């Protein structure tokens, strides 16, 4: 057995997790990190304050960086590993959860269903332009009365000759008002089916939901469908059950298991730097035992959650990751990221409540991340079912 090393661990990578990444993964991670540091971080506090983002510019930039649908093969997509997608999600969410949302909704929720369940013609028509960020997509599953239980949806489509007529509404849809197409899940006589709805379809509206106190650097909308007529080649032919939308959620939840640790890392690093600078009682507050405890708890949580995410990524790339294991990552990393953000907020004192620092913004965003893509309770029950064999939902 070798002796222990006496090298000082890096406070930003205490367990040397970087050593677990390939050169290619480090390069991709650093590229995204530098984009976020230069193009997102200087502005995102203002975007959040104003409740907007330059979605078109960002989508084009992310397209150029090869990040839209990056883990999908073909049709102009980068075809990276799942782990690489996860590492990119960490960096994006270190900027803001809303920025990660823009990318994950586009790739995992709008492009993925077309890639997985679409016809060859649908894939050729939409995916290359979506990968470039020329076409923005959104994902309509949730309704005002069907959140955790999307199978109770009322939005429906009926055949009319060779067309479909879509009626109903969706709620809380990321990118809804700025999307060029919406992938909408609706009840039909044949089961739950996915429709590609172009935003200029007569009868389709997407009003923005205002006055949000969380995820403000992200557009959230209602979608309404009043007798929207769609030709048959706008329905995804490959699925007619809840397996369609739930498969998409696997993709996005996987990215969130990583991404949440980006937000947490940003909070920890902000608190560490602040505590070393801020002097009270003639000493930096980082010298106080209670503050050191907070910093260490945050550091340990971020490292542990990052290793968990990486483990899930490796399992995914080996083709053996299950939805319940994705629930483990989403459940544990998001709740812990929220704890880190709250702790960091306390280290910053009054400054912690301003938008001059990213901490409160992350903390507030993480309340949404805790709820969307399956609430903490839903993931608890999915894992509960897995370990007991008993279904708590019905």
Please give the residue ranges that form the binding site for ligand TGC (CB under 6 A).
101, 104-105, 139, 141-142, 148-151, 174, 241-243, 246-247, 249-250, 252, 323, 372-374, 378, 382, 393
CB of 389 to ligand TGC, least distance (A): 14
Q: Which region, left, alpha or beta, applies to residue 199 given φ > 0 means left and ψ of -120 to 50 means alpha?
A: alpha
Task: Look at residues 296, 293, 376 and name the one whose alpha carbon lies nearest to residue 334.
Answer: 376
Q: Taking CB within 5 to 8 Å according to partner kind, which of ligand FAD, ligand TGC, none is near residue 151?
A: ligand TGC
Q: Which of 227, 231, 296, 393 binds ligand FAD (CB under 6 A)?
A: 393
Q: Please, what is the minimum distance in Å from the beta carbon of residue 160 to ligand TGC?
A: 26
Site string for ligand FAD, 199-218 (x = CB under 6 A): ----------------x---
Q: Least distance in Å: CB of 374 to ligand FAD?
A: 6
CB of 192: closest distance to ligand TGC in angstroms? 8
Task: Write down the least CB distance from residue 313 to ligand TGC, Å.
Answer: 18
Between residue 112 and residue 171, which ones bind ligand FAD under the rule CB under 6 A? Answer: 138-142, 147-148
Count of residues that bind ligand FAD according to CB under 6 A: 21
Residue 247 binds: one of ligand TGC, ligand FAD, none (C-beta under 5 to 8 A by kind): ligand TGC
Which position has the token pair 């799942």?
A: 82
Backbone phi, psi, residue 312, to 5°: -65, -40
CB of 274 to ligand TGC, least distance (A): 29
Strands 204-205, 156-160: pairing kind: unpaired
For residues 281 to 320, the per-residue mask of contacts with ligand FAD, x marking binding by CB under 6 A and - elsewhere, is ----------------------------------------
Which residue, chain included where needed, has tokens 């075809």? 79
Which of ligand FAD, ligand TGC, none lies near 382, with the C-beta cut-off 5 to 8 A by kind? ligand TGC
Q: Which two tokens stand for residue 234?
A: 């706008």
Residues facing residue 195 across a β-bridge: 184, 235
Which SS3 state, helix, strand or coil, does residue 188 take?
A: strand
Rounded CA-CA distance 186/170 in Å is 10
Tokens of residue 264, six digits:
């947490």
Site for ligand FAD in 332-391 (CB under 6 A): 368, 371-372, 375, 377-378, 381
Q: Are 234 and 201 in contact (CB under 8 A)?
A: no
Structure tokens at 391: 């279904």
Out of 72, 94, 130, 173, the residue judged to bind ligand FAD by CB under 6 A: 173
Interatomic CA distance for residues 174 and 195, integer angstroms: 17
377 binds, among ligand FAD, ligand TGC, none (CB under 5 to 8 A by kind): ligand FAD
Set 25, 93, 251, 373: catalytic member: 373
In terms of DSSP bridges, do strands 279-280 and 163-174 run parallel, antiparallel, or are they unpaired? unpaired
User: ∠ CA 276-279-280 to the nearest 5 degrees?
Assistant: 130
Q: Would you say 119 or 250 has its CB closer to ligand TGC?
A: 250
The Cα-based distances of 286 to 236, 322, 337, 350 in angstroms read 56, 41, 21, 16
Which of 89, 220, 270, 303 forms a contact with ligand FAD (CB under 6 A)? 220
**Residue pointed to by tokens 């070393």:** 276
- Strand pairing class (137-140; 181-188): parallel
Q: Quick one: what does residue 177 bind among ligand FAD, ligand TGC, none, with the CB cut-off 5 to 8 Å set by partner type?
A: none
Residue (of 33, 51, 55, 47) closest to 102 by Cα position: 55
- Our answer to whether residue 23 is catalytic in this structure is no
Eight-state DSSP code of residue 230: E
**Which positions are annotated as active-site residues?**
373
Using CB under 6 A, list all residues that contact ligand FAD: 105, 138-142, 147-148, 172-174, 215, 220, 368, 371-372, 375, 377-378, 381, 393
């Amino acid at each position: 057995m070798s002796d222990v090393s006496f090298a000082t661990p890096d406070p930003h990578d205490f367990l040397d997790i970087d050593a677990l990444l390939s050169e290619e993964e480090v390069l991709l991670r650093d590229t995204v990190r530098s984009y976020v540091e230069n193009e997102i971080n200087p502005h995102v506090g203002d975007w959040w304050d104003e409740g907007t983002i330059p979605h078109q510019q960002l989508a084009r930039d992310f397209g150029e960086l090869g990040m839209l649908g990056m883990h999908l093969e073909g049709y102009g997509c980068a075809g990276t590993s799942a782990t690489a997608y996860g590492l990119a999600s960490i960096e994006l969410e270190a900027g803001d959860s809303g920025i990660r949302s823009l990318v994950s909704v586009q790739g995992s929720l709008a492009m993925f269903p077309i890639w997985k369940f679409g016809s060859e013609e649908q894939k050729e028509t939409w995916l290359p332009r979506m990968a470039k960020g020329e076409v923005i997509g959104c994902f309509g599953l949730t309704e005002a009365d069907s959140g955790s239980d999307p199978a109770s949806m009322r939005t429906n489509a009926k055949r009319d000759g060779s067309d479909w007529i879509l009626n109903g509404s969706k709620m809380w849809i990321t990118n809804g008002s700025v999307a060029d197409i919406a992938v909408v899940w609706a009840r039909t006589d044949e089961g739950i089916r996915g429709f590609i709805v172009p935003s200029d379809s007569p009868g389709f509206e997407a009003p923005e939901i205002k006055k949000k106190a969380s995820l403000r650097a992200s557009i959230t909308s209602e979608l309404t469908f009043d007798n929207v007529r769609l030709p048959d080649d706008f329905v995804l032919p490959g699925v007619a059950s809840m397996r369609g939308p739930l498969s998409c959620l696997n993709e996005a939840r996987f990215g969130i298991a990583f991404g949440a640790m980006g937000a947490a890392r940003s909070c920890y690093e902000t608190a560490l730097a602040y505590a070393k600078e801020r002097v009270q009682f003639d000493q930096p507050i980082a010298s106080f035992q209670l503050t050191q405890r907070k910093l260490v708890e945050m550091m340990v949580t971020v490292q542990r959650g990052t290793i968990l995410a990486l483990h899930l990524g490796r399992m995914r790339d080996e083709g053996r990751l299950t939805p319940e294991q994705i629930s483990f990552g989403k459940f544990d990393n998001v709740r812990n990221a929220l704890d880190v953000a709250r702790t960091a907020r306390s280290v910053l004192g009054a400054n912690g409540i301003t938008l001059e620092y990213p901490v409160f913004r992350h903390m507030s965003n993480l309340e949404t991340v805790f709820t969307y893509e399956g609430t903490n309770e839903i993931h608890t029950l999915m894992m509960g079912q897995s370990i007991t064999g008993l279904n708590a939902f019905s």
